Structures are given as structure tokens and as C-alpha cells.
Amino acid sequence: MGTDGRRSGFRPGKGNTEGVTAGKGKTDGVAVTATTAAASASCQYRCIECNQEAKELYRDYSHGVLKITICKSCQKPVDKYIEYDPVIILINAILCRAQAYRHILFNTKINMHGKLCVFCLLCEAYLRWWQLQDSSRSVDPDDFIRYAKEWDFYRMFAIASLEQTAYFTGIFTFLWVERRRTAKKALNFALLLKALLLSSYGKLLLIPAVIWEHDYTPLCLRLIKVFVLTSNFQAIRVTLNVNRKLSFLAILSGLLVESAMVYFFQRMARALGSDCAIYKSQDF
């Protein structure tokens, strides 16, 4: 990451030289167009303070002397977190600081959102499966082993996946309609999806909450839900650079679509005479 930033930092002078000779012919014009596109593509970083684009995070001088790039807009370091320990960055992300989110989403190359999504869904499926097993009040070990071999866990995983898909669909639909109404630039759905998946890491806390069960477990599960929604809220703000009101309405739209899908499955299960216990007493 740092190497790419260093290389792009020394190219602008060469691009300007080509721009001066652009009027000599068609070939030079094509070269200038390519140079301009390359310069635009090189602005792959963001200032964590003002969200302005930046070509590099730091510059590497001789003998290993590094100097953090200063943002031309806010006159602050583009990304101070490149010198921080990952634990400090994680703590700032848990505190939902916008600067930490910008560092993670724009200035690092983290491609673990797919694996994190699957693992979070497994955690949520385990919680639902545990609640379903707990409602049966079975104490026979043989019966528990038989129960564990059934397909209920996979059914819980499918339900959790559908609910999360509905939640994201509600968010994307609202933001897409809002952007169309205000005639703003198109959404980067890939980046927004990555931000939402990474900001859902709070679901990993479901497993400790279930393992160390106590009287306050339902309260802990609700607090985890609030934390995940808050993280999603901040991820939308940082990714799209929008205000709090729009982010809140996007989260609310996702919850409404998710609740509508849950209600639909409840009605369908009742109509078929199936057991609806999977939707009862769900704390998450």
C-alpha cells in the first residue's frame, strides 16, 4: 500500500510536461488523455479528516526517512493511523470514529469481508439454533445428539441469510431512490456492501454471549444488535459522505424490509401449519 502511494506521488510532474505539449498533434492529445485518466485513478486514498482524495499517504525519502502527507484541503495528515498499532485502530473502530472507518475502508486493502459475512451468519444461526433447542427443554444427552444431527441449524443459517439480504436490500433501495431524486452521482454498491459487511463484525460477540449464559443474556443480545446497527450507520455515513439523517433513514428502511420479510414467513408458516418457534423470542 505504501509503495503504491510512494510511486504515485512522484508522477504528477511528468504528467504536467506532457500536458504542455498537448497541442502539437493528435497523438499528444491521446497521451494527455491517458495521463489525465492515470492521474485521476492514482487518487485512490482519502483524507481521514475531510474525506478529500489523496494521491499518497506518505513519502519515502532516502535512508528510510518517511514523511506523512499533509492534506491540501484541511492541512492535516492524510492518514495518521498508518503509524498506529492495529489494536489502537480496532479500538477506534469500536468507538465508531469516522476517521478509523475511512482508514479501514479507503486506505487499506482488506478483502476479508466475504469470510467475515459467512462467519457472522454462522454466529447468528448458532444463536437461533441455541434458542430453538433451549425452548424444547430436552435434558436427554442422546436426544440432544440426535437433535444436533438434524437440519435445523442449516435452516437457521438460511433464515439469517435471507433476513440480512432483505436488510441490505432495503438500505440499497432507499439510497438508490434518494440519489436518483437528488440527481447525485451513482452509488458505489460494491464499496457500500463491503462497508456494511465489515461493520457487522459486532455479531461475533453473539458466541461469547451464548457460551457464558446468565440472567442478562437477553439484554446483552439487544445491546449487540444496537451496536451492529450503530456501526452500519457510521459505515454508510463514511462511505457515501452523507449526513446523519440520511444514514438513519437508510438503516430504518433496511429494518422495515427485514421486518416485513419476517412477518411474511410467519404468516406463511401459520398457513402451512408449521412450527413458528424459530421466530419466537428472538433477541437478535
User: Which of 8-17, 89-98, 250-259, 272-281 shows the lowest per-residue confidence on average (mean pLDDT)?
Assistant: 8-17
> pLDDT (tens digit, 9 = 90+) per residue, 20-70?
334 444 444 433 333 333 344 456 889 999 988 888 888 887 777 788 889
Tell me: pLDDT of 129 over 70. Answer: yes
pLDDT confidence of residue 4: 44
Assigned domain for 179 exists: yes
Same domain (yes/no): 76, 207? no
The domain in which residue 227 lies consists of: 113-279
* Other Cβ atoms closer than 10 A to 206: 25
Please indicate, yes or no, whether residues 143 and 225 belong to a single structural domain of this protein: yes
Separation between Cα atoms, residue 144 and residue 138, nearest integer Å: 7
Q: Is residue 261 part of a domain?
A: yes
Reading the block at residue 26, the C-alpha cell is: 493528435
Q: What is the pLDDT of residue 109?
A: 87
At 187-221, the pLDDT tens digits run: 888 999 999 999 999 999 988 888 887 777 888 89
Q: Is 105 part of a structural domain of the chain?
A: no
Q: Are residues 143 and 237 in the same domain?
A: yes
- What does the mean pLDDT of the chain come to? 78
Q: Contact, 138 vs 147, CB < 8 A? A: yes
Give the H/E segment covering residue 201.
none
Residue 15 pLDDT class (50, 70, 90 cuts) = very low
Q: What is the mean pLDDT of residues 78-84?
A: 90
| Same domain (yes/no): 260, 199 | yes
Same domain, 122 and 236: yes
**pLDDT average, residue stretch 150-161:** 86
For 164, list phi and psi in degrees, rounded to 5.
Answer: -70, -40
Q: Say which range, 14-23, 166-175, 189-198, has the weakest mean pLDDT.
A: 14-23
Mean pLDDT of 256-263: 92
Q: Is residue 102 part of a domain?
A: no
The pLDDT of residue 11 is 39
In this prediction, residue 141 carries a pLDDT of: 54
194 in the same domain as 126: yes
Same domain flag for 29 and 130: no
Mean pLDDT computed over 163-173 = 96
Helix, strand, coil percentages in the chain from 3-state DSSP, rounded to 5:
70, 5, 25
